[in-house]
Structure 1
Amino acid sequence: MQQSEIRQPARARQANSFLSPDSAQSASPCLPLCRPSTPPQTRRFASPRPVGRMQQSGIRQSSRAFQTRKSASRNACNLRLGPACPAPLGGFNKTEIKRFYFCNAPSIPYLAGNSGKPDRGTISTSHVRPAAACTTACHSRRTPQPATPFTVAAASSSAAPLAACTHSTGAASLMIKKLVPLLLLFAFAGLATAQDDAAGDASGGTGDIVMFVFDGDAPLAGARLIIDGQEVSETGDDGGLFTSLTSGRHKVVVQFKNEKIVDLDLLTAEGEQIQIIVNRREGQKAEVDIESTGAGPVLVQEGESADDAATKRGLLEGIIKAGAAGPVVGDARVTVLGLGRAVRTNENGVFQIELPPGNYSLKVSHADYDTQTIDNLRVIPGKAVTANITMSSEGIQLADYVVTADYIEGSIASELSLQRESTQVISVIGAEQISRTGDSDAAEALQRVSGLTLEQGKYVVVRGQPFRYTLTQFNGLPLPSPDPIIQAIPLDLFPDTILSNIQVQKSYSVDQPGNFGGGLIGLHTRSVPDEDFFELKVSTGGNSRSTLDEGLTYDGSEDDYLGDDAGDRALPSAIPGSEDALFNLSTAERQAIGRSFNDIVLFEEEDDLPPDVGFEAVGGKSFPTEHGTFGFVATGSYSHKFRNEKELERTFLSGTEPSIESNETRTDREVQISGLLGLSGKWDSHELISNTFFIRDSQDRAQFSTGFNIQSGASENQSYLLEFQKRELFLTQLIGEHEFEYANFDWRVQTANTDRDRPDRRTYSYDRAFGSSAPFTFSIAENYTRNFNVVEEDINSAAADLEIPLQRWINSETVELSLTGGFDIDDRERDSQTRRFTFRPQAGQVDLTLPNVEQIINDGTIDDDADLVVFREVSGGNDVYTADVSTEGLYLGMEGRYSEWLQVVGGLRRTNADYSVVTGNGINGGFDESFTLPALSITGYLSDSMQVRAAFGETVSYPRIVELAEALFFDPDTGEVFIGNADLEPTEITSYDLRWEWYPTALETVTAGIFYKDLTNTIEEQFIPVGGGNFRTTFTNGESGEIYGLEVGTRLGLDRLHKLGVPRDGIYEQLAKMYVQADIAITDSEVDLGSGFGAATNRKRPLTGQADRVYNLQLGYDGATHDLTLILNHVGERLDRGGAGGLPDIYQEPTTFIDLTYSLAIPDILPVIGDLPFIGEGQLKLKGRNLLNAEEEYRQGSDLQRLTLFGRTYSASLKWNFN
């Protein structure tokens, strides 16, 4: 879990501006009590912070959140005592100094919660209203314990402000008079502490208490402090008091008149400094916050030996509720900080934990509520201590204070916070949401995002624009593609295990690369945790068409279970390095090389395909030191499964009857292995992060097809395919974040490599005359082909962002400005090589009716004279190509805010792209072009929970590498042949967005938006007639295109129905544990192909892949131990491929998928073994996918063109949490 700031209320924003001590007196009535030697910087991003936990790459957070996690904690808290500061206040050392700003009204310092890490504090800001009190406090603990920020139940002063906050002598005098009691209080506290320190042991062992008492929003005067039955002090007009007391156990009572406000059992250690804030609430239990400088052991009471105290354990118990009168909170995690012990509340919200005597801090966290940290809980030997805790789901914001809370990485609340605070139109899906929907990789998860659809199960279409218009980044840096042709990033490569969240930026900002049109997909990995953890998960499952059913297979390699080939499919070492070298050999030499090929091609039928299996391990640890905090996070996963699929495919050349039909049955064996290692070091105002990621994803396919081909001799055929492909990605990133006095500087570098190895793709077929009953014979026309393809791409990237807050120079309380600039450089090299070989039996020399191809083609028939079977290479010169791509970008931006209701972010980016491709035949292609890309985003804040965004941007989308060379290319995956076009121009896109957003709570949202995009020089497929009714594909720029749509989404708790009159008792009580999440996207588009598309049936048509509507619906139940989520995904009709030669366009029919997930929390995962403190709770999860058994159906006009059957999928997993 990670720290961040909860968004501050609108009234608090004006307090964010920092005024230096020198300018404060002349420009502001707010005077610093202590002058820091280095003024804190308010960090306002006008560029993305690619690694910040609230500020991850690709998505820049709004300055409305005041500061990022780093800036809020480091810059504001990294203070040194200046010459204006006296001795430490209240007995605290330098790292515990509070820093205050006061206006000309009574104000009580706000004591922030513990920071969670040494030398990193928690910022809190109070700004009641203009001309009223403002207070800024920053606190950094000296005790290095793994605590986290917690909300403080304290109220600000509501004393009436003066008529004006002026610089007049009278006003200043009055202000000083009002500060005198507070100054005397802290001076006295500092003097008392100094005397205690000097006295040492002679003091008799004393501690100090500083207390403030409030009545609602106002200081409470006359509240009496009673210790051990004796009244020792009384609060003054400012609500504060100070006293010393001897170490030991004390009965502490705070009483006002005849009302007992607080009754505490307090145990103090020698030299301990305790701060207590009490908020009296009429008719309710008072809120109390206690903070201590240290947590020592419980002192031995009189009459009890140390040994007795050490052997007796105490019981800490309590009930956790959601609000004072709300329901109990089940399945909340209660962690004892410093021990690593944790328990979870039961369905009644009750927790119990036995602990040795001592002083402890508890952290209580739940995905649906703000995290609470409770300090100074004393466990008494042999006794029970009760700590009842109240949690809030809306962020606790008392009066005008900004309250900090835990930022749970990947939680639903963090998703909405990222979306809300961004300056752009974005959608976010986090790890918790991915887990709830049961998605196993990034591609599956993204189909839950409004307006997004999948193609081929791995490529993302954003807002109806083909995936060529989608850009993918990994922690803010670009990725290489393993695909030999289309160069898109297959998102099924990224398992859910490594992901913290996925952010989809739909509008453009200049701090991002401008080479996308639909959207930017930002994948963000897990970060180093604040709490140590380790999890193991095992899973199994199956598919209704696959598991324990018959399937196809063949004898592959002994390393197939590892997703690798042991060399059995490798290109024989005797093969020369080029086709020409092989051609120059003698016939006998060539035939000898043909015999060196592995000759095992026999299909086998597997009677019972085994179930799916999977293993995952995730862990992380932090190491606080005196020099900073260092840590790591690591993940590892393995999955193995078999899948059967059936597909019917038809090709129409004329009329309504198919000319070619194929019924395919295939079995895929899929293996995936991945690992992530993240390292982090944080010290002072600096942070370094290293990410190393590896994944291997392999697919081993055996496919059998039957069908007919009326076009080529009216034949029936049987076709066979054996294919293994392995995709690997390895990358290393180093990221730095640095904060200086006048600027903030971030940088990131990456080296990444991907390769796709598809060795020995084997195809052959048998045929006979159409309608004949004769046996099938080996097809000489099709031959026996064996293809080898290797694609490798390397990319080296670097980027940097500089941000300069201008607040110190503009001296304005209503206008805030930040200047940003940066650059990014990407250099990639790509090599693709395909070698194609055929084995052709000589007619009449071999019995072609033999059913096994190994009987026809073997070492005996591949003779030296080539009389029986001829071996040859048929590779083309363009089956080999190399490419170099270099993109560079510079940007300059500005972010401005006016008062509390308007924010403007804009700038310009200058980008250059240099593409170069050279084929094996020496044919060159490419371009070198530059573009200037503007962007502007305006956010208006209608209220503290409601806002409107408007965005404008211009971007480009470049052609794919192989589309630029005028050469024939063979697609090694599909077998299709296409030709490039050296005259292709990049597509230029102009985008407009308008979106309204409402966030009623931290877990709820309602959004509605419209968008419009204008495209110039769209890149489209063109079909060139080659005779016989056949066409060859090339690529040409269309004239223009446009796409527009509406997106509406919501996530609301069903407990809102209670406000409409639904009762809260009986079955309706469960509504408080339920939510509904839904979105709808309605999109339309049109592309004008122009006059250059003579064979196209329709000159005007929709964009390829654009669905007319996309619906998502989730209905969830969050119980104490049971979670249930029902998910629906509906994708409307979408264009698959444009028609040619008068044939209709091909459309994919609407599809609806329904999934269901259920999880059960298990309190003690291994109760049979006994009390194992290092094994915590577990989770059982059940998932069902495609419960409606939906199919993918494509139609060309009214005729069925393609149909794919997948079946239903089920899985079960069990996870252990090791504490």
Structure 2
Amino acid sequence: MKKELKRIIHCILYILISYSSIAVNIERGSVNGVITDKKTKEPLMGATVQLDNSPYGTAANLNGEYSIDNIKPGVYTITVRYISYKTVTLNNIKIEKGKKILLDIEMEDASLDLQGVVVMAQRRLNTDLSVLNTVKNSLPVMSGISHQQISKTQDSDASEVLRRIPGITIVDDRFVIIRGLAQRYNNVWLNNATTPSSEADSRAFSFDVLPSSLIDNMMVYKSMSAEFPADFTGGFVSILTQNTAVDNQVSFQYGTSFITGTTFSNIRLLDGYKCDYIGFGAGKRSLPTNTPSDLRVIPIQDAVDFTKKINGKWGINSFTAIPDQKFSFSLQHKFELENWKLSNISAVNYSTGYNAYNNMQNNRYQSYRDGASQYDNKYIDNVYKNTTKLGALFNWLLFSDKNKFEFRNFFNQRGTTALTQREGHDYYSDIAVRYWESFYTARTTYSSQLSGEHKLKEDINKMAWVIGYAYAGYNEPDRRVINSKLNENREIDRYYVDDAKKYYQKLHDNSFSLSANYEHRFNASEYFSSILKAGIYGEYKGRKFNARQFQYNLLGDGYSRYTDWDYSNLFDENNIGKDRIYLIDKTEKCDSYTSDNLLGAAYVSADFNYSDKLNTNIGIRAEYYNLKIDGYSTDGLTPVNIDQKNMDIFPSVNIAYHLTDKNLFRVAYGRSVNRPEFREIVPYVYYNFDVFANISGNIDLKKAYINNYDLRYEFYPTAGETVSFGLFYKDFKNPIEQTYHEAGSGVQYTYHNADRAVCYGIELDIKKNLSFLGMKDFNFIFNGAYIYSRIYFPEGAFERNRPMQGQSPYLINTGMFYQNDKAGWSASILYNVIGKRIETVGIPKQNPNDDIPDVYEMPRNMLDFSISKKIGKYVEIKGGIVDLLNTKVVYKQFLKITEGESTHTVEQLVKSYRPGMQINLGVSVKF
């Protein structure tokens, strides 16, 4: 009986949907709209719309939209049906010639039990309406973006997508700053499991490794809740990759990009290897397995032989850059089983492209003296890069009416080869210099999760669990740095090589996580219900870091050290010998370390729902944290063994009060923690060529604790529209920041704790359809934030109170989307700007006039435009321009000089370059 009833329902649905193919050729009247769940406002894909006693009918699309054209004028009864929902009947609907009627329809869950009918449907979270509904019904303060909105932009990876979310900015094209707080104050989970950091010098998930086409949705939680890890303050970013196949589908995308200043211009890179084309070039450049542990304890001839063995390629390949290339292929497939549904999404993506930054100004300054800025270094850089990404996704979903199992896998390999030519004056030594750096970096990211959700008893209790593994590898083999000086005292007015070094470093991060969550619903009465939540979480992260440093010993005669950017003649194998050139070891014990941390957590929370008006979540989370590090101090002699253990309690409260179905207020409080990362504690010293300085850790670094407060008003005029206004306040104890100080002939970066800090601001988010202006197919978005922060230092300290590092005082994202599904056209224009923010903390002096000021990244206006056209059922062509204005990236210092009773501000240009306007063209085929 059950199977027969299912067949009858499927047959009825097929007949109803098939009516949508019957049309009258003469243009008459039409009706269209959106069908949504009355309570959740989610679109109801597949809901059928039928004009009774007529051949006119259709079914709603993925977004719940329907349209029936060419209807003969008359008065009709319209019936809307969807399995497990109450049928909606609309009487006396008048259709007039040449007029279009807009009918948005809300449907309610059926109260009657459909005996013998099993409805299996997987809730989709990749549409604008579903994300907006999730945001509305969430108790924690949050924002999000759907795959549907991502597809309307030219954003190529997750870092570009995040810029569209209120309160978020991006640093170095891949690190996230939320509410003005640097990446160290944010946490990232991929598919409900932890992500390791592939960065050797910071705690950060590199968002540029995740292609935007693979993202189902991105949610950013901004207030604390017991279910979330306590180690976030700015925001908790949850990314879900696609896992639900809508239909059996194969798709292929190809895209190309032209970048002004790069494409068809001259590129200079060291000769590479074939495997560079797929991002796996590190292996060819790595140290051999039989590398001596210390060149200082082996005979010189063995060191010479080793030098020849790893000498590598020195030839410069000069060529014309071709346009960037991007390819992707995906396969979606559904399998119908007896009582289950199985779905698979598999995808492969590849991209390669070039960047050239010519005539980049790059300066550093001493203290201001004698009425003028005093240079420390004044350089012009020419930077050339090639970046290749190879990625894959392999996700499975198996579900029934009560159980769901997911198996998600994501892999990305990113290889970058780069060459920097720096020329200018070193004022500390008062000599003209040239610096040259060539490197190849490989970043490997793999993430895998097995998860399950189980309804133990319908609408009463359920359980969910996740087992996760993640790997992040960073390999920087054979980084070469060469320093040359202008020989001003000899007859030949040319640059000669004064110093040459080789660096090798490897990082391996392995992360394991396990979580289990339980929910139980209590329905005390029609007006009061509660949900009890409890769960456990365990996480282990292990890191192994190794580095080797070598310096070329330049001895004897018989070869020339004079050269102009090409060093192949100098380091030719014929010049390598114990009386000429060979490598000496500069590696110390502090150049390697091992570390791990264990995090164990348990939480309990409760949602209290008072009718439909007041919803409250109260929770408490306990976290045990154990950090271990084994290494050596910077002297290379003293062992450093750290074993820190602590237990913390983190309370949280989230309250939502619904004035009406469309208006609500939120209030939230939560306590969070910011723990030092591996790299920030170990005393390993690394030379960063970009900032001309060493970076080291601080073993005395302490945890930071933060109290977080939120107040927010939200208004939802219609489905798909929102207006929200929020206030937030954060109070920090022992905030952690990166600073730098003078060390010998240069500066050195490290990490330290300030005394306290505050950060507060306002946020505004608007999404509005412009049909009230007669522009039905247009949608306007705006999100902006104003943020104030202040770091406070103990009285008497040299440091002066200032904004937090990386914090922007304001940010604006706005734009307009055009979507005409019937004509197949879509377009968008998007604008983004952020206020100036501290990129590098300065060096305070006893006399403020002698300060080395903070370095600020200046505001930069960005304008993106995109357009696409669907051709038939299977083909879509996209084009657009990224960074249409191509304004300069500028870093400046601002020094307040007091002379007598007057004060004036001196501006100093630190860095300046144009990244280039990017013109994109692509085609996608789906069938």
User: Does the CA-based 8 Å contact 2:424-2:432 persist in structure 1?
Assistant: yes
2:131 to 415, 420, 430: 415
Structure 1 residues 636-661: Cα deviation after superposition (integer angstroms, max 9, x where no partner): 11111111123221110122132202
Q: Partner of 1:1015 in structure 2? A: 732
Equivalent in 774, 777, 796 of residue 495 of structure 2 = 777
Aligned mates of 2:723, 2:454 — CA distance in 1: 36
Residue number in structure 2 paired with 1:894: 606
Give how far 1:694 is off: 0.8
Contact kept? 1:461, 1:467, Cα under 8 Å: yes
Match of residue 898 from structure 2: none
Q: Deviations over 1:411-447 (max 9, x none)?
A: 2222211211211111111112112121001101111
| Matched residue, 1:445 | 161
Q: 1:907 maps to which residue?
A: 619
- CA pair 327-774 structure 1, distance change in 2 beyond 3 A: farther
Report the counterpart of residue 954 of structure 1 in structure 2.
671
Q: Which amino acid aligns with 1:778?
A: Y
- Given candidates 711, 718, 722, the residue that maps to 1:1001 is 718
State the one-letter code of the partner of 1:1106. Q
The answer as to 2:386 corresponding to 1:672 is: no
Change in 2 beyond 3 A, CA 1:814/1:710? same
Partner of 1:1184, secondary structure, is strand
Query: Structure 1 CA distance, aligned partners of 2:520 and 2:513?
Result: 24
In the alignment, what sits opposite 1:628? 340
Separation in structure 1 between the aligned mates of residue 655 and residue 664 of structure 2, nearest angstrom: 10
**1:1123 aligned partner:** 826
Q: Which residue of 1 aligns with 2:855?
A: 1146
- 1:1182 matched to 2:916? The reply is no
The whole-number CA distance in structure 1 between the counterparts of 2:19 and 2:606 is 58
Question: Is it true that 1:1199 corresponds to 2:875 in the alignment?
Answer: no
Task: Give the counterpart letter for 2:235 in structure 1.
Answer: G
Asked if 1:1074 corresponds to 2:778, the answer is: yes
Aligned equivalent of 1:456: 172
After TM superposition, give the deviation of residue 789 of structure 1 in Å: 1.2
Q: 2:576 aligns with which of 855, 859, 862?
A: 862
Residue of structure 2 in register with 1:1104 after alignment: 805
DSSP-derived class of the 2:106 partner:
coil
Once the two structures are TM-superposed, the CA of residue 407 in structure 1 deviates from its matched residue by 6.1
In the alignment, which of 393, 404, 421 is matched to residue 704 of structure 1? 421
Report the count of equivalent residues.
843
Match of 2:790 in 1: 1086
> Do structure 1's residue 558 and structure 2's residue 274 form an aligned pair?
yes
Listed as ranges, the gaps of 5+ residues in structure 2 are 35-45, 50-54, 68-78, 84-97, 113-118, 846-850, 895-906
Where does residue 945 of structure 1 map in the other structure? 662
SS at match of 1:559: helix
Q: 1:1024 to 1:1145 in 2, by over 3 A?
A: closer
Distance in 2 (alpha carbons) for counterparts of 1:392 and 1:990: 48
How much does 1:925 deviate?
A: 2.8
TM (norm. structure 1) is 0.66
Gaps of 5+ in 1: 1-92, 97-140, 144-271, 273-290, 299-312, 330-341, 343-348, 350-358, 377-387, 1058-1068, 1164-1175
Match of 1:795 in 2: 511
CA distance in 2, matches of 1:408, 1:391: 28
| Aligned equivalents of 2:860, 2:206: Cα separation in 1 | 22
Specify the alignment match of 1:737 in structure 2. 453
The answer for the alignment partner of 1:762 in structure 2 is 480
Amino acid at match of 1:1100: N
Q: What is the distance in 1 between the residues matched to 2:681 and 2:198?
A: 19
Tell whether 2:77 aligns with 1:365: no
The equivalent of 1:990 in structure 2 is: 707
Deviation at 1:498, TM superposition (A): 1.3
Indicate the residue corresponding to 2:926 in structure 1. 1217
Question: In structure 2, how many angstroms separate the alpha carbons of the residues matched to 1:813 and 1:328?
Answer: 33
Report the Cα distance in structure 2 between the residues aligned to 1:393 and 1:913, rounded to whole angstroms: 56
Residues 1:848 and 2:553 are matched in the alignment: no
Q: Deviations over 1:968-1003 (max 9, x none)?
A: 455688674234333221110111111111111111
| Cα-to-partner distance string for 1:689-712 (whole Å, 9 max, x where unaligned) | 100111111111122121111112
Are 1:691 and 1:732, in contact at CA under 8 Å, matched by a contact in 2?
yes
1:928-967: CA deviation from partner (whole Å, max 9, x where unpaired): 1221000000000111111111111000010121222355
Inter-partner Cα distance in structure 2 for 1:318 and 1:805: 49
- For 2:624 and 2:325, the matched residues in 1 are separated by 47
Matches within 5 A, 1:716-755: 716-741=432-457, 743-755=461-473
Local SS of the residue matching 1:415: helix
Q: For 1:876, which of 576, 585, 588 is the aligned residue?
A: 588
Aligned residue for 2:106? 396
CA distance in 2, matches of 1:641, 1:465: 31
Q: Offset at 1:719?
A: 2.2
Code of the aligned partner of 1:859: E
Q: 2:76 is matched with which residue?
A: none
- Aligned partner of 2:776: which letter? A
Distance 1:651 1:368 in 2: 57
- SS in structure 1 at match of 2:575: coil
Partner of 1:1000: helix, strand, or coil?
coil
Counterpart position of 1:833: 546
Aligned to 1:148: none
Deviations 1:852-896 (A, max 9, x none): 422222322221xx2212421111211111111111110000011
Secondary structure of the residue that 2:341 maps to in structure 1?
strand
Answer yes or no: is the 8 Å Cα contact 1:879–1:970 preserved in 2. no
Q: Check the 8 A contact 1:595/1:858 in 2, yes or no.
A: no
Distance 2:915 2:557 in 1: 43
Superposed CA offset, 1:353-408 (max 9, x none) = xxxxxx999643154737998799xxxxxxxxxxx999978552479999x99965
Match of 2:309 in 1: 596
The aligned residue for residue 524 of structure 1 is: 240
CA shift in 2, pair 1:95/1:1143, >3 Å: same
CA contact (8 A) 1:862 1:871 kept: no
Query: Is 1:393–1:1001's contact at 8 Å kept on the other side of the alignment?
Result: no
The reply on whether 1:1026 has 2:740 as its aligned counterpart is: no
Q: 1:825 aligns to what SS in structure 2?
A: strand
The answer to whether the 8 A contact 1:465-1:1105 is kept is yes
Kept in 2: contact 1:775–1:849 (CA 8 A):
no
Amino acid at match of 1:628: W
Supply the AA of the counterpart residue of 2:21.
L
**In structure 2, distance between residues paired with 1:374 and 1:771:** 91
Q: What CA distance in whole angstroms lies between the structure 2 residues aligned with 1:667 and 1:771?
A: 32
Asked if the contact 1:708–1:716 (Cα under 8 Å) also holds between the matched residues in 2, the reply is: yes
Q: For residue 318 of structure 1, report the CA deviation from its aligned partner.
A: 3.5
Which letter does structure 2 place at the counterpart of 1:787? Answer: Y
Match of 2:194 among 464, 469, 478: 478
How far apart are the structure 2 equivalents of 1:1121 and 1:295? 26
Residue 1088 of structure 1, CA deviation: 0.5
Deviations 1:228-267 (A, max 9, x none): xxxxxxxxxxxxxxxxxxxxxxxxxxxxxxxxxxxxxxxx
- Look up the match of 1:934: 651
Describe the SS at the equivalent of 1:855.
coil
Q: How many Å apart are 1:846 and its aligned residue? A: 3.6
Query: What do residues 155-211 of structure 1 show as CA deviations (whole Å, max 9, x unaligned)?
Result: xxxxxxxxxxxxxxxxxxxxxxxxxxxxxxxxxxxxxxxxxxxxxxxxxxxxxxxxx
Q: Judge conservation of contact 2:739–2:841 (CA < 8 Å) in 1.
A: no
Alignment identity in percent? 22
